[in-house]
Structure 1
Amino acid sequence: MLKVFLNHTSEDKALVMPYFHKLKALGFEPWIDERILPGQDWDEVIQRAFNAADVYLIFMTPRSVTKRGYVQLEINDALDKQRYNLYGDIGLIPLMLEDCDVPVKISRSHQYIRLPEGWHKVVESLELAARQRNIAIHTGVEMGPFRMFLRAEQHRWEGFPGYEVSLSYPHIESSRVPNAALELNEFFTSLRLNILLDARQVRLDQEKERFSGWAGVPDWKPVNSSDVFISPRLASQSILSFSVHQDGMFAGAAHGFMWLETHNFMIIEDQLIRIDINDFLSEPYLAYPPITELVRERVGHEYADRFERELDADDLIRIREALPIDGSIFKNFQITPSGITLLYPQGELFGHAAGAFGADLSFDEIKQWLKPGGPHTYALNASAISWDLGIDD
């Protein structure tokens, strides 16, 4: 069942609730903060629902697009999560509930639907999102030399605290590069096991006295929750990028957490070769300072857009301190046919409330620092390869 998170401001709840009931009647699993019970930690409940959602509906009115606080944070987080979706996946749908100025951060990447006349398009988009997930699970999708199947697991253990882990990751088959497919599956299996081993450590650190006092709170459970998904992308027939993205909430915590790591590989003679950022650069330590300046510029633009103001001197200092020139900022990246996308999860650069950030660098603008014959030569001019679901829009 497709889980749908309804983002709105409290002033618009009466306008949004009819759509909640319509989604429920259509067989979706919508979530709205009307479902928070007295005594529950509202921040924790919202974070759990947000992390578990498959699709986010952003209800826009003059009140919601200008209101500071949790609504804007949710919008930023929902946009951030789209970075880790598969190409073509529907994950966020902006909805014009009343005439208003669409925030630039939404309009530059998503087409909105006007309500109520566009409601049928919303339903079609959600049905397509559900089919995308079902196809990936049951029949697999073609992705370059591979057929990839989506695997989903749930793991639970009750304790003080217990844990709930939701895992989504690909299983890969290939007749063209069978050994590379085997190695990728072994790699995913090791990631999966490490995540479960981390979750199970809570069994050795039980705090029954701490959590037993909350036993009377309705629907509250002392649980460390975690949602993990591994998303694949191909830049060419022989270059793959994977992001491992985790959202979670520790029992009793005021805020959730977000964690990210990326892995990049080339396939040479049916074997996986790991790609590091230094493999692209002829002289890495000479390249770090000028490329870092480009990254600071990209992040600065995103920072200004997100907070809808011009950068001041303190902002510029904050950006420089968050992005040093020692090469550490290149830890997480994905390869595209035209360049490299650097990823910074929520809280890594400017704190939890600022959200996640990213920076796109084209091979053309960093070509003077690229190694002759480096991995970029395999990606340049290649068509982006993605999950081809074979579904007509």
Structure 2
Amino acid sequence: MKKVFISYAREDCKVARKLYDDLKAAGTEPWMDEENLLVGQKWKDGVRKAISESDYFLALISSTAVEKKGYFQSELNKALKELEEMPPDEIYILPVRIDECVPKHEMLQDLHWADLFPSYESGLRKILMTIGHTRKTTQPAAEVPGSSERVKKPDDKKVRQGDTIIINAGGDVNFAKDRAEASIVKDSKNSRPPAKLRLFSG
């Protein structure tokens, strides 16, 4: 599970929290001070440790953040030092803008940005694509018991009494008389001979 440190200015906390929730729902492990720092923990040590252990440093950039002195700039400087020690083709810092602003750090200007405006969803998709995750928007496909292979849903035709089901070697399923159709992904390890099943009434 990819760890993503979220750095933001306090004025942008609402956007940071939404991003935190969406990244978590997508299967990543986001880190945000308001969510992950423990009561009584030395927060400076906690932040420093979280940055060093993260796979990605997400810098939430706004007009406020680029002009403000404080913890956001401090965290960003730590991340830039981490980036300097990495191979030139490695992606670590994810600059994400929430409004029309220009980062002042020269190293950030060399990186491709993601924008959460005018479309938040479009920006989020770009972030998840970089991290290697996708949002879970659909139910998983049905599975054959005891297997992880997908099953293609049959057409709306009904299987009737007297139909013949032909199961070929490799697991292909077909219904005679063109009254129903179905198929499952072929199992290359299945060496059983073809079998025929005839449906009878109970």
Tell me the TM-score range normalised by the shorter chain.
0.5 to 0.7
Report SS of the residue matched to 2:96.
Answer: strand
Q: Give the aligned partner of residue 75 of structure 1.
A: 76
Q: Give deviations 1:224-259, integer Å, cap 9, x for gaps.
A: xxxxxxxxxxxxxxxxxxxxxxxxxxxxxxxxxxxx
Is 2:105 aligned against 1:126? no
Matches within 5 A, 1:55-134: 55-115=56-116, 116=120, 117-127=122-132
Distance 1:107 1:85 in 2: 15
Q: Give the aligned partner of residue 8 of structure 1.
A: 8
Report which of the two has the higher share of helix.
1
Listed as ranges, the gaps of 5+ residues in structure 2 are: 134-202
Listed as ranges, the gaps of 5+ residues in structure 1 are: 129-393
Instruction: Give the TM-score of the pair, scaled to structure 1.
Output: 0.31
CA contact (8 A) 1:8 1:16 kept: yes
Distance 1:99 1:108 in 2: 14
Distance 1:107 1:38, change over 3 A: closer
Report SS of the residue matched to 1:22.
Answer: helix
Distance 1:108 1:100 in 2: 11
**Cα shift at 1:119:** 1.6
Distance 1:87 1:105 in 2: 15
Q: Give the aligned partner of residue 53 of structure 1.
A: 54
Matched letter for residue 83 of structure 1: E
**Cα shift at 1:27:** 1.1
**Cα shift at 1:105:** 2.3
Q: Give the aligned partner of residue 31 of structure 2.
A: 31
Report SS of the residue matched to 1:94.
Answer: strand
Q: Give deviations 1:166-190, integer Å, cap 9, x for gaps.
A: xxxxxxxxxxxxxxxxxxxxxxxxx
Task: Percent identity, please.
Answer: 29
Instruction: Give the TM-score of the pair, scaled to structure 2.
Output: 0.59
Distance 1:108 1:99, change over 3 A: closer
**Would you say how many aligned residue pairs link Structure 1 and Structure 2?**
128
Report SS of the residue matched to 1:121.
Answer: helix
CA contact (8 A) 1:94 1:106 kept: no
**Cα shift at 1:84:** 1.7
